[in-house]
């Protein structure tokens, strides 16, 4: 009270100044720095956001957010985020330094005048060629930020995919993504639907929650063993846990549809992939159908937190309890846990284009990009003038 500590019995009077201090623990984030790609004269700031950092202060995140880092470390004051990336997603972000430029860029985004290009690393050997997924998407659980394909209630969504490289062991692929709409988790949900989820995605590539099929074709798992019957993980560096037996997928009401190839305007053919959803539940009971999976995802998250608490090291360098609030200290997460292998690589609009460097996990994509550039340059040289 008035900059002094007082007893609880002290009477507060008019004009007294009451202050208090908050002691809080923010979740750990990557040590990778947020970098400035470009700042334009009209007030557009282009940044490269590391994975693990949310855009706005939210929940337990305050200082470790894009807005606060730009304010505290880079000295910016008025900030208007134009495109928003998921906390676990890395890559290019556009931030307005004034309301006018932010409004103009948002109008371009809404009118689809801005092209977004992403790079991701998925599970399995992704098929060659250009794949188009146009399954509608809706939110299943806001608290978990869980989304799904839903033909009845989902919003129109379209994403183009193209294979860039496949690992020698065929376990992972680097895939180029170009979303044409902007639904939450659109790329992640469409890749799961196609059967090639982002390999370290804790929501959509999680066998303990989804079973062996992991949501391919929109199918829900019908029966899985309780999470309490599964071994407690001692290494949470990957979400792709050992396979869990699951029943065969139910027979669809109609045969799976794969639309004929259609030209995409660049002389190539694009496979427009449509699939089937689990038809064991009527469409008007979709929320009821998703209930068990949502509860299972919540249980899985609780199990991971308990596993981290049990496995937390107890030595002089890593005390078990905070000396101020007695909260337990958790072990530092691995780099794979701090981000998912999804990176916003390049944004292009009328008269401009910005891109970021690619992360280490996408090194094969760099080889592919260099090879394509070389082929284009060679073709130009071979063309008669």
Q: How far is CA 349 from CA 86, 105, 248, 338, 363, in A?
A: 22, 9, 46, 30, 26
Q: Which residue in this structure is represented by tokens 């557009």?
A: 44
Q: Determine which one of 16, 42, 86, 332 is catalytic.
A: 86
357 is catalytic: no
**Cα 119 from Cα 360, distance rounded (Å):** 12
**Cα 50 from Cα 344, distance rounded (Å):** 10
- DSSP 3-state of 7: coil
CB within 8 A of 239, min separation 6: which ones?
200, 201, 202, 205, 206
Element (H, E) at 141: strand 137-141
Q: How far is CA 164 from CA 161, 167, 335, 367, 372, in A?
A: 10, 10, 23, 9, 10
Which among 207, 212, 216, 68 is positioned nearest to 133, based on CA atoms?
216
| Tokens at 8, concatenated | 């609880």
As annotated, the active-site residues are 86
């Amino acid at each position: 009270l008035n900059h002094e500590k007082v007893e609880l019995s002290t009477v507060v009077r008019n004009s007294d100044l009451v202050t208090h201090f908050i002691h809080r623990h923010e979740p750990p984030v990557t040590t990778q720095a947020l970098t400035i790609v470009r700042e334009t004269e009209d007030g557009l700031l282009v940044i490269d956001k590391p994975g693990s950092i949310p855009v706005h202060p939210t929940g337990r995140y305050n200082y470790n957010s894009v807005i606060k880092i730009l304010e505290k470390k880079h000295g910016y004051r008025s900030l208007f985020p134009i495109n928003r990336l998921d906390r676990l997603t890395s890559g290019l972000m556009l931030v307005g330094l004034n309301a006018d430029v932010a409004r103009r860029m948002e109008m371009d985004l809404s009118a689809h005048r801005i092209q977004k290009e992403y790079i991701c690393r998925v599970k399995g050997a992704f098929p060659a060629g250009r794949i188009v997924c146009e399954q509608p998407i809706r939110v299943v659980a806001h608290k978990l930020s869980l989304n799904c394909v839903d033909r009845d209630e989902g919003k129109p969504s379209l994403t183009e995919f193209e294979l860039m490289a496949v690992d020698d062991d065929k376990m992972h692929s680097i895939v180029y993504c170009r979303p044409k709409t902007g639904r939450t988790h659109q790329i992640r949900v469409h890749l799961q639907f196609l059967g090639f989820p982002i390999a370290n995605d804790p929501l959509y590539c999680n066998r303990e929650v989804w079973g062996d099929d992991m949501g391919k074709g929109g199918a829900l798992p019908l029966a899985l063993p309780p999470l309490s019957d599964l071994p407690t993980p001692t290494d949470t560096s990957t979400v792709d846990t050992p396979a869990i037996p699951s029943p065969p997928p139910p027979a669809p009401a109609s045969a799976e549809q794969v639309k004929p190839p259609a030209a995409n305007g660049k002389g190539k053919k694009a496979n427009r992939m449509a699939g089937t959803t689990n038809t064991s539940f009527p469409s008007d009971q979709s929320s009821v159908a998703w209930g068990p999976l949502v509860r299972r995802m919540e249980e899985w998250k609780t199990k991971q937190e308990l596993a981290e608490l049990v496995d937390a090291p107890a030595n002089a360098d890593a005390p078990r309890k905070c000396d101020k609030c007695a909260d337990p200290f958790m072990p530092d997460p691995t780099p794979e846990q701090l981000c998912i292998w999804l990176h916003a690589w390049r944004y292009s609009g009328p008269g401009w284009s910005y891109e970021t460097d690619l992360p280490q996990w996408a090194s094969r994509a760099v080889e592919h990009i260099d090879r394509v550039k070389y082929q284009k340059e060679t073709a130009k040289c071979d063309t008669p003038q």
